[in-house]
Each structure stands twice: as C-alpha cells, then as structure tokens.
C-alpha cells in the first residue's frame, strides 16, 4: 500500500485539479485548463502559495483585473470548447468573491461549466469578525459566499481539509455532466487552506470523465416520428445544444434530407450556415421576418438543444397554429419537456441520427419547400434595405454589422452580449461557419464582451476574435484590455457609441415613456433630469492608455479599412464608431414588457392598450 501524501489543503486541491480530464468520442481534454485569479488576504497565502509552488504549466495562473471578468473569460472558453474544458477562478473573501456572483449566474443560466474557488471566513471562528466578514445575526456559519448557492449547480464549503476527498469528485462530476453543468462553487476558509492532511495517493491519480452520447427512448422516438410524418409545415428551432454536442453536420444532413426549415436562437446561430437552403436565420424577438412568419404557421416545432427563452418564443406568442405540437431533443430533461413536447432526451447528434434513419425517404411537401425558398429570398431583399446607407447618416449600427460580418469571414469569431447589439446582429449576421458567432444572451450581461473575447481567444488561438460592444458595456468592464496586453493576445474590439444605454432608451420611448435616465447627458442646473449636452468620453484615448491601438472609423469605407488593418496589427486594436441612437431596426415579434396600466402620458396609455392586445395572443402549450 502506498503511503499517504501529506499536503496543505490548498496544495492538495492544486494537485488534484491538474489530473482531471474530460473525454468525448475518444479524445481527451483537460477539464481545468488553468486558474484565473485576484489574490487577497483570504487566498494569497493558501491557494495562491499552493499555485506558485505546485501549479506551473500543469495549472497556469492568469491574472485578471476584475473578478467578474475572469469568470466571463472562463465561461467563454468553455463555450468555445463545446463545454470540453474550463478554468477555475479564485478570489479572496469579501468584494472579490461577490464580484464573481454575476459571472456564476452567466455560467449557470447558459449551462456552461466554471469552477469558482472563493476564500471564506475562518472555520475555527477565533479571529472573527475578520476583515470583510459579513456578520449575519442568525447564524455563525453564513458568509457572503452563501450568495453563490442559488446561482451554482453545486456548492460546498470545505471546513476540514479531508472534506476535499468527498467534495472534489462530486464537483468535477457536475462540471463534466452536460445535463447538470454550470457554476460549481467551493468556498475555501482561509485557515483550512493552510491546514495539512495525509491524503491517500490514489486521490491524485488521473481521472477521466467521459461524455456519453445516449440515444433517446424508442417509444418517444416512435411518437416523434409519427408527428413529423403527419406534419405539413414543420419547423426546426436549433439552439446552443447543437454546438455543444458537435451536431452541426448531423443537423445539416437531417435538414437537407427532410427539407424541414431551420431557425436559430442566439446560442444556436451557426448551427446551420446561412447558405444552407433550409436556413431561415434568427427566430423570435430578435428574429428575421421570414423565420417568424413561418413559425406563426408551423404545425410542428422540433426544438433541438434550446431551452426556449422568452426571446425565442416571443414571450409565448411565436407559435400560433391552432393545433401546433412540439418535439424536443435535449440532454436536459426539463428543457426537453417544455411546451408539452414529446421529449427525446439524450445527445443531439445521436438522436438526429436516430431520426434520420426512422424518416429515411420522407420529405416535407414540395409546396412548403417552395415557400421556404420564397421566404429566404424575401429576407435577402429586406436585409439589403436594412444595411443600406441612410440619407444624412454617416454610419449605422446595421452597416457596422454588415462590414464586421464580411471581415469576420470563415476564420473569425464575433463575441457580443448586451444592449441593442444582440437584437440587430441576430437578425443581420450571416453565419459562414459554425464558429463565427459567439453570443452570451442567456443572461445578456453587460461587460461580458471583452472578457468573453479573451476567453474565446484562449480557447481558439487560431481564430480572429472580435469583441462587439456598445459604449455603456465598455464603461462597465473594459479592464481586461490590460490582461490581453499582458498575455500578448490579439483581439479586435469594435465599439459603437450611441451616448448612453441606447437599447433600453429605445424600449422606454417605444413603450410611450419620456426620455429619462438612459442617456449619458450632463445635469443642467437643479433639474431632476439628465438633459444637458452629452458627457464627453474619449474612448480612443482610454483604450490607448490601457495598451491598445485605437482608431476612429466614421464611414463604411473607413470601417472596412480599419477592420482590414486590424487583422495584421499585433495586440489589441479598438475601432471606435459613433452611431445614431435613433436609427433602429424593426422587430418582427412581440416581447412581454409590461406597460403601466395607469398613466397621465398619452403615449403610455396607447402602449398599454397595445400591450393588452398582445397578451391575448400568449399561449401555453401542454
């Protein structure tokens, strides 16, 4: 029998993480690819010292500038790697830990793995209350780390060093499980990190977690096939699960064989490329006119790898056929049963193969295939008008998207998350490869874009990575420009400036309200409103001060040249574009945003009447 290995708890944690792998289709990947961190008194002499002494190349350390941002980077890495690997993130107890909570929510909402290792208050309680400790009057064992519980898929506090023996295997299991994954939080009390224990040697042996490709149940498959064969106007809604299960080729073949058109959610963009004859583009609130028109008439909706958020279903108004039925392919049982669907629970790639074999020789009616092609052609015409120059406007956000789409090509990836950008880019982007579009729209978290681009670049260093963001999001979390410069990573940031929180400002005005609190304006005199001139912000100088190269683009030709130059430029390049806030794209579906039932403003009263009419279209499918 091998002798046990005596290590500090933190050192044991570092050693364990270096030996964790995830395997799919016979290929192994590191489960934990490194540690993002910012040190404080609660983790620097424990976990930090252990990383310095025992980490090295097996568990490299990356220094973030904001704790939320490092979690975003880890999440983006996991998304880019199809959930086959992630990073750990460490902080001290206190504000460092609570800064990570937003990132934890992003991970869990989007079903993406990340390991969070915040320091915690002393388990022995002797020096308490320590610096940054929350004194909770109802219990001595509550710290700010308890805030992670509702946004974590697994949560534990390691109060004794030997508790690692039980906690770590369970934490890794959740991270590697495609049906259960999300944020995993292990709170590490400051004193326990430094305590030693004689760990069994086998605890540090290599562990490999295999991602299986389970088929769906035969009975469910039979029911789904029967529905598909009798459908006259079926529609596929493809989500992020198509990417995570590496099922893009399988979906391409299934759609081509059956003729069933495919619409995509934000996470599903690229699940079929736009040149595919069955691709309708985006669906839902941010969708295309063509996809949404066919969705309204669909008698069968086949959901593949989507959790059906309100944006995808237009707040339950998108599917209006009186006898519409649903089939759902998903690894997550709850997602597979939404809208009363026939649940095909298992791996998307495997189940698409099952469906293809069961439906061999079957195709949708010729008249429906012809209608799909007419809708595709109609959207081509509509899109061309949306990205065309506008009289008196040097450059619109739609034109920026079109130019960025061309520059990205098949070898680039655009990363976006929040504001008005997701609505416009989801409509207008033409995916030329499965990996050219990276959207965090489950949580739509402002500040994700630059950190997310950093994580995407680490996961796919061969790709050109573009962060596409607005001025509001940049001001919230631009600090990882410094990290990218430190690491020698090449990123291109495309910043569109509409002088405020333009997306919500448009929503506010669209619902009949006055302009209030959303533009970046000076206060005038003793006014209760911000209604003076715009606050001047020089984003070019700001980016340059952080180590980036920055340029301005004021015309389509200037933007095209800047994007071309950025490809050959080293390091971080920021391209600044000023766009008008009042030039907006039309929507083709409704979104449930309640409007005040009582108001003195005529515009609000009119918007409420329209809201009441729209809610009558909401349907619950069971």
* Domain assignment of residue 595, yes or no: no
Domains: count for the chain: 3
Mean pLDDT of the chain: 96
Q: Are residues 412 and 351 in the same domain?
A: no
Q: Are residues 132 and 271 in the same domain?
A: no
Q: Are residues 163 and 198 in the same domain?
A: yes
Q: Are residues 58 and 197 in the same domain?
A: yes
Q: What is the pLDDT of residues 371-415, one digit of tens each?
A: 999 999 999 999 999 999 999 999 999 999 999 999 999 999 999
Q: Which two tokens stand for residue 48?
A: 């930090």
Q: Are residues 142 and 178 in the same domain?
A: yes
* Cβ contact 599:611 at 8 Å: no
Q: What is the pLDDT of residues 551-600, one digit of tens each?
A: 999 999 999 999 999 999 999 999 999 999 888 899 999 999 999 999 99
Distance CA(555)–CA(207), nearest Å, equals: 54
Q: What is the pLDDT of residues 142-167, one digit of tens each?
A: 999 999 999 999 999 999 999 999 99
pLDDT, residue 313, reads: 96
Distance CA(608)–CA(595), nearest Å, equals: 5
Q: Are residues 60 and 182 in the same domain?
A: yes
* Domain assignment of residue 604, yes or no: no
Give the pLDDT band (50/70/90) at residue 622.
Answer: confident
Longest dimension (CA), the chain: 82
| For residues 462-488, average pLDDT | 97
pLDDT, residue 620, reads: 87
* Cβ contact 329:352 at 8 Å: yes
Residue-level length of the chain: 622
* Domain assignment of residue 619, yes or no: no
pTM beyond cutoff 0.95: yes
Q: Are residues 229 and 330 in the same domain?
A: yes
Q: Are residues 407 and 292 in the same domain?
A: no
* Domain assignment of residue 324, yes or no: yes
Q: Are residues 178 and 281 in the same domain?
A: no
* Domain assignment of residue 606, yes or no: no
Answer whether residue 136 shows pLDDT above 70.
yes
* Domain assignment of residue 505, yes or no: no
CATH number at residue 250: 3.40.50.1220
Domain boundary among 320, 350, 381: 381
CATH number at residue 493: 3.40.50.970
Q: What is the pLDDT of residues 72-113, one digit of tens each?
A: 999 999 999 999 999 999 999 999 999 999 999 999 999 999
Distance CA(305)–CA(248), nearest Å, equals: 11
Domain boundary among 210, 241, 276: 210
* Domain assignment of residue 257, yes or no: yes
Q: Are residues 144 and 10 in the same domain?
A: yes
Domain boundary among 352, 381, 410: 381
- HSE-CB for 122 with a 13 A CA cutoff: 10
Q: What is the pLDDT of residues 480-524, one digit of tens each?
A: 999 999 999 999 999 999 999 999 999 999 999 999 999 999 998
| For residues 451-455, average pLDDT | 98
* Domain assignment of residue 258, yes or no: yes
Range of the domain at 293: 218-381
pLDDT, residue 404, reads: 98
Distance CA(257)–CA(445), nearest Å, equals: 38
pLDDT, residue 1, reads: 66
Q: Are residues 235 and 182 in the same domain?
A: no
Q: What is the pLDDT of residues 176-225, one digit of tens each?
A: 999 999 999 999 999 999 999 999 999 999 999 999 999 999 999 999 99
* Cβ contact 306:335 at 8 Å: yes
Q: Are residues 273 and 296 in the same domain?
A: yes
């Amino acid at each position: 029998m091998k002798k046990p290995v005596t290590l500090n708890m933190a050192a044991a944690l570092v050693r364990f993480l270096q030996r964790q792998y995830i395997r799919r289709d016979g290929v192994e990947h590191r489960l934990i690819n490194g540690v993002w961190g910012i040190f404080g008194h609660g983790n620097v002499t424990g976990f930090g010292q252990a990383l310095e002494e025992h980490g090295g190349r097996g568990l490299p350390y990356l220094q973030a500038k904001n704790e939320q941002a490092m979690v975003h980077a880890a999440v983006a890495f996991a998304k880019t790697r199809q959930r086959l690997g992630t990073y750990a993130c460490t902080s001290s107890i206190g504000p460092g830990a609570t800064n990570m909570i937003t990132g934890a929510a992003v991970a869990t909402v989007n079903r993406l793995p990340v390991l969070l290792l915040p320091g915690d208050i002393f388990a022995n309680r002797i020096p308490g209350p320590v610096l940054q400790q929350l004194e909770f009057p109802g219990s001595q064992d509550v710290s700010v780390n308890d805030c992670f519980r509702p946004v974590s898929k697994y949560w534990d506090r390691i109060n004794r060093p030997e508790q690692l023996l039980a906690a770590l295997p369970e934490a890794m299991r959740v991270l590697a499980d495609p049906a259960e994954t999300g944020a995993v939080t292990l709170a590490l009390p400051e004193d326990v990190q430094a305590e030693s224990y004689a760990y069994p040697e086998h605890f540090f042996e290599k562990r490999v977690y295999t991602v299986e490709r389970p088929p769906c149940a035969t009975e469910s498959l039979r029911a789904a096939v029967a529905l598909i064969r009798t459908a006259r106007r079926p529609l596929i809604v493809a989500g992020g699960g198509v990417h995570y299960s590496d099922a893009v080729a399988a979906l391409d073949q299934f759609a081509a064989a059956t003729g069933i058109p495919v619409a995509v959610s934000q996470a599903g963009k690229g699940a079929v490329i736009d040149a595919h004859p069955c691709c309708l583009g985006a669906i839902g609130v941010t969708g295309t006119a063509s996809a949404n028109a066919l969705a309204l008439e669909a008698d069968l909706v086949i959901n593949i790898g989507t959790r059906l958020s309100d944006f995808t279903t237009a707040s339950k108004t998108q599917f209006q056929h009186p006898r519409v039925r649903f089939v759902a392919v998903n690894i997550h049982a709850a997602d597979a049963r939404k809208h009363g669907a026939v649940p095909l629970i298992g791996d998307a790639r495997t189940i698409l193969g099952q469906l293809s074999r069961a439906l061999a020789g079957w195709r949708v009616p010729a008249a429906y295939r012809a209608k799909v092609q007419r809708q595709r052609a109609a959207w081509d015409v509509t899109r061309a008008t949306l990205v065309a120059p506008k009289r008196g406007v040097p450059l619109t956000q739609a034109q920026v998207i079109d130019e960025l789409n061309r520059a990205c090509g098949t070898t680039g990836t655009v990363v976006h998350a929040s504001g008005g950008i997701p609505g416009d880019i989801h409509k207008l982007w033409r995916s030329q490869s499965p990996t050219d579009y990276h959207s965090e729209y489950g949580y739509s978290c402002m500040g994700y874009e630059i950190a997310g681009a950093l994580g995407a670049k680490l996961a796919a260093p061969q790709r050109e990575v573009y962060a596409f963001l607005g001025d509001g999001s940049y001001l919230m979390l631009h600090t990882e420009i410094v990290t990218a410069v430190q690491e020698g990573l090449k990123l291109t940031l495309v910043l569109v400036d509409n002088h405020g929180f333009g997306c919500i400002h448009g929503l506010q005005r669209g619902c009949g309200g006055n302009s209030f609190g959303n533009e970046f304006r000076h206060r005038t005199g003793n006014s209760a409103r911000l209604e003076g001139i715009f606050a001047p912000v020089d984003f070019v100088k700001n980016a340059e001060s952080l180590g980036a190269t920055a340029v301005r683009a004021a015309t389509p030709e200037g933007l095209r040249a800047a994007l071309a130059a950025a490809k050959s430029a080293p390091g971080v390049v920021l391209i600044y574009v000023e766009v008008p806030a009042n030039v907006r794209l039309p929507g083709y579906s409704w979104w449930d945003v309640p409007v005040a039932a009582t108001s003195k403003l005529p515009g609000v009263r009119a918007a409420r009447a329209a809201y009441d009419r729209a809610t009558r279209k909401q349907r619950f499918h069971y």
